[in-house]
Amino acid sequence: MRSATATRLSRRLSKYDWNAYLFIGPALIIFLLVTLYPVIDSFRISFYDWDGLNPMEYVGLGNYRAMFEDEYFINSLKITLIWTVTTTVCTLLLGSAIAVLCGLTKRNTTFFRTVIYACFGISAAATGMIWLGFYQPQFGMLNAILRGVGLSSLQRSWMGVPLRALFCIIVASVWQSTGFAMITMYGAIKAIPGALFEAGYIDGVNSWQITRYIMLPLSMNAFKIAFFITVLGSLKAFALVLAMTQGGPMRGTEILGYYMYRESFRHFRLGYGAAVVIALFLSVLVVAVPLMVERSKKA
């Protein structure tokens, strides 16, 4: 890809074309001003103590030290880990399973795919409300279902206890993002040449073998894309927590993306918030390195 572009460039133009700056100008100016500069500024602010009103006070690494002494930050790290791993694993498993099921049958599956994919278009704010309704203790469906199947003893105030509330939000998140994993995997499965399936069926293999030896190996690339987008999306998440629990109960659902928001804009610890967001950024960076390398090579 890279060399192809290079040949094309050298064939077309032997010299630099300065007009190019007019073409990338608008995008570059907006990007430098509203993205790159703020990122650098966030690093700077993280070395200061600042409440947004009084003058900033330089504290060096003070905010970072305070971060690791704050039990709520450590708590937030743990919650973020549980949240990210569980959301990613469930989303990818479910999404891939549905894609494979759609690929195995010859019948039309458009309806199923459209419904599940459409949920990916629902905003996090609305997803939160939809699932709050589901968990609502008095008239929510979850408790009603438990009553209905004779498990009344399992009825709970679902959003009332930290870890339980976290898993309730995870379910909502998986419900919303499975459609993306599914459509990505389904696209790859549909692109597999039909001859491979035919060869498989002539050899008399069953659905599981088709899945295991044809579909999954040949959609690994799509799986990787879905994996990275899901894992990065959950690391950066914020809105679902705001909509459903606002970090509660007992700060038990404060993922990093929300913890930063709360410390900065509810407790007005802007310098500290900047330090937290740098920590979040670095954890995203660590996960994203393989994808960055690949995208840079292709660019």
Q: Which of residues 40-59 bind other proteins (CB under 8 A)?
A: 41-42, 45
Which CB atom, from 64 or from 281, has the smaller least distance to other proteins? 281
Which CB atom, from 27 or from 153, has the smaller least distance to other proteins? 27
Restricting to residues 107-146, which ones interact with other proteins according to CB under 8 A?
107, 109, 111-112, 114-126, 128-134, 136, 138-139, 141, 144
Of 16, 54, 71, 150, which lies in the binding site for other proteins, with binding defined by CB under 8 A?
16
Check residue 38 for interaction with other proteins (CB under 8 A).
yes
Tokens standing for residue 93: 């498993």
Which CB atom, from 128 or from 166, has the smaller least distance to other proteins? 128
d(CA 170, CA 154): 19
Tokens standing for residue 2: 């890279």
Check residue 30 for interaction with other proteins (CB under 8 A).
yes
Binding letters toward other proteins, positions 213-252, x by CB under 8 A? ---------x-xxx-xx--x--xx-xx--xx--x------
- How many residues can be counted in the chain? 299
Whether 100 contacts 184, CB under 8 Å:
no
Of 1, 55, 60, 69, which lies in the binding site for other proteins, with binding defined by CB under 8 A?
1
Smallest distance, other proteins to C-beta of residue 233, A: 10
Smallest distance, other proteins to C-beta of residue 249, A: 14
* 58 contacts: CB under 8 Å, gap ≥ 6: 47, 48, 49
Check residue 150 for interaction with other proteins (CB under 8 A).
no
Which CB atom, from 166 or from 262, has the smaller least distance to other proteins? 262
Query: Which one of 33-41, 61-69, 78-86, 157-165 is the stretch in contact with other proteins (CB under 8 A)?
Result: 33-41
Smallest distance, other proteins to C-beta of residue 110, A: 9
Restricting to residues 160-199, which ones interact with other proteins according to CB under 8 A?
175, 180, 183-184, 187, 194, 197-198
Check residue 86 for interaction with other proteins (CB under 8 A).
no
d(CA 253, CA 238): 11
DSSP-assigned states of every residue in the chain: -HHHHHHHHHHH-SS--TTHHHHHHHHHHHHIIIIIHHHHHHHHHTTEE--SSSPPEE-TTHHHHHHHH-HHHHHHHHHHHHHHHHHHHHHHHHHHHHHHHHHH--S--HHHHHHHHHGGGS-HHHHHHHHHHHH-TTT-HHHHHHHHTT-GGG---TTSSHHHHHHHHHHHHHHHHHHHHHHHHHHHHHTS-HHHHHHHHHTT--HHHHIIIIIHHHTHHHHHHHHHHHHHHHHT--HHHHHHTTT-STTTT--HHHHHHHHHHTS--HHHHHHHHHHHHHHHHHHHHHHHHHHHHH-
Of 82, 146, 218, 284, which lies in the binding site for other proteins, with binding defined by CB under 8 A?
284
Query: Which one of 66-74, 81-89, 157-165, 275-283 is the stretch in contact with other proteins (CB under 8 A)?
Result: 275-283
Of 7, 39, 160, 212, which lies in the binding site for other proteins, with binding defined by CB under 8 A?
39
Smallest distance, other proteins to C-beta of residue 268, A: 11
Smallest distance, other proteins to C-beta of residue 289, A: 9
Check residue 3 for interaction with other proteins (CB under 8 A).
no
